[in-house]
Structure 1
Amino acid sequence: MSSLVSRSALHARKRALAKTLCYRALMVAITVLVAWAVVGDVSDAVNIGLVANVVKTITYYSYERLWDHVTWGVAEAA
């Protein structure tokens, strides 16, 4: 039974990683398209899209780590 649980947990992590990477790729594409429409230059748009999404990813990770230290809304273990 434990191998079933570990396989299921591994599958869930792989699925979450795949969803995350697909989402980030979609967000990069949207940012690049919007930046291209605004600045009119593909090279600048790609740079904006990549930098903006790297910054957003780092910011989100930092935000999540910060919330690891917030106890509000977390039930105490019995």
Structure 2
Amino acid sequence: MDTRKRSVLKAVLWQMLGLVVMTLVGFVLTGSVRVGGGMALINAVLGLVLYLGYERLWQHIRWGRIAG
């Protein structure tokens, strides 16, 4: 089981990677760094919150775990 700190660090690092990728995608689709960055920022904030909740939910599900 991960600690809360580990879950948060994993989520933040994942979202940073996603922020870069989404900024590039947004820029390619809109031609604007500002619009692409705004889209990426909104996606990153929502993704971080949802990912943390998702991770914490799975901490309570025993299915598929190997005891050890």
What residue is the counterpart of 1:50 in the other structure? 41
Secondary structure at the aligned position of 1:69 is classed as: coil
Percent identity, aligned pairs only, is 29
Q: Deviations along 1:6-39, whole A, 9 cap, x unmatched? A: xxxxxxx78xx4x765543332111101101101
The structure with more radius of gyration: 1
Find out whether 1:31 has 2:22 as its counterpart: yes
Alignment gaps of 5+ in structure 1 = 1-12
TM-score by length of 2: 0.67
What residue is the counterpart of 2:31 in the other structure? 40
Deviation above 4 Å: which 4+ runs of structure 1?
Answer: 19-23
TM-score by length of 1: 0.60
Aligned residues: CA RMSD: 2.7
CA contact (8 A) 2:11 2:51 kept: no
Greater RCO structure (CA 8 Å; 6+ sep): 2
Alignment gaps of 5+ in structure 2 = none
CA contact (8 A) 2:15 2:44 kept: yes
Where do residues 7-18 of structure 1 align in structure 2 (5 Å cutoff)?
17=9
Which structure: greater helix fraction?
1
